[in-house]
Structure 1
């Protein structure tokens, strides 16, 4: 299975269009969005081409391609305009025999770990900072932010395929990779 993973669009139509274009180019089976889709939040500057209504239209057109979890900037009012579910705090995936706990990161994160065992993966966005870290046998992954990267990171997304996670910039250049062990 091939997945594309992105986080923290924050209402940027420009970066949402980039995500769509990358999705079409990469040709994964699904796009997993790790929250903060429409609103920029009070701590962030407005992202480039802030246009939540445009993001709504674009994502609704892709609704059959999407898997989503709720971010701290996502609310019930957002769910009212989106035609796909976004209100789950986490999602469990099983890939290559590994449990992947996918969440936004504001509730469950490396400081507040969910109940995971060695070999499991904690996957979240929220910090806008790319990460690939071994936390005592649990692997922590963060694709960074599509629209508002922090700490000198590039705008980025992640691809999962054949047991390998890759963080890429929006030009498709590899930044980091991790191959899960069997």
Structure 2
């Protein structure tokens, strides 16, 4: 199973288009697209509302199954992700999620907690901390691998979880 994850594109439709052309089994935007919910660029994408999205048609969260994994997507601003993963961890457990996707901090990162994979793809438009704009590729088979790529689709960072 392979999913493509982006967040915090802040009005840049071209990066959303470019990332969504990457091969995958599911496509996710973790909010702050600043586009309308019905924009054709989102035609095959699961998407949620961020704190900078003003179209009320965006859901606050999305829970879908890709392959045999339940994927919970939120923006993160309502879960305090800049402080800790505690609140989003409890949401994951309440929803029986295997993977949690979120944005908001504009910093990429991943962590496996109690068998749940948490992924922040960073920002495709306004990264923080001197980092490059990034999106994430999550592959889950015998291992769980998360690869962060820049807008030229080059690997910036990656991590593989073997015991989950």
TM category, shorter: 0.7 to 0.9
CA contact (8 A) 1:5 1:159 kept: yes
Match of 1:46 in 2: none
- CA shift, 1:30, in A, is 3.9
> Would you tell me which structure has more helix in proportion to its own residues?
1
Match of 1:4 in 2: 4
CA contact (8 A) 2:71 2:97 kept: no
Match of 1:66 in 2: 45
- CA shift, 1:160, in A, is 2.6
Q: TM-score, normalized by length of structure 1?
A: 0.69
Q: Is 1:177 matched up with 2:159?
A: yes
For the structure 1 residues 98 and 112, does the alpha-carbon distance in structure 2 shift closer, same or farther, using more than 3 Å as the test? same
Structure 1's unaligned 5+ residue stretches are 39-54, 80-84
Structure 2's unaligned 5+ residue stretches are none
Match of 1:160 in 2: 138
- CA shift, 1:7, in A, is 0.3
> 1:112-152, CA deviations, whole angstroms, 9 ceiling, x for partnerless residues?
23343498333200000011123454332100000000112
Q: Of residues 14, 33, 57 in structure 2, which corresponds to 1:17? A: 14
What CA distance in whole angstroms lies between the structure 2 residues aligned with 1:111 and 1:74?
24
For the structure 1 residues 90 and 178, does the alpha-carbon distance in structure 2 shift closer, same or farther, using more than 3 Å as the test? farther
CA contact (8 A) 2:16 2:41 kept: no
CA contact (8 A) 1:156 1:170 kept: yes
Q: TM-score, normalized by length of structure 2?
A: 0.76
Moved over 6 A (4+): none
1:146 is paired with a residue whose SS is coil
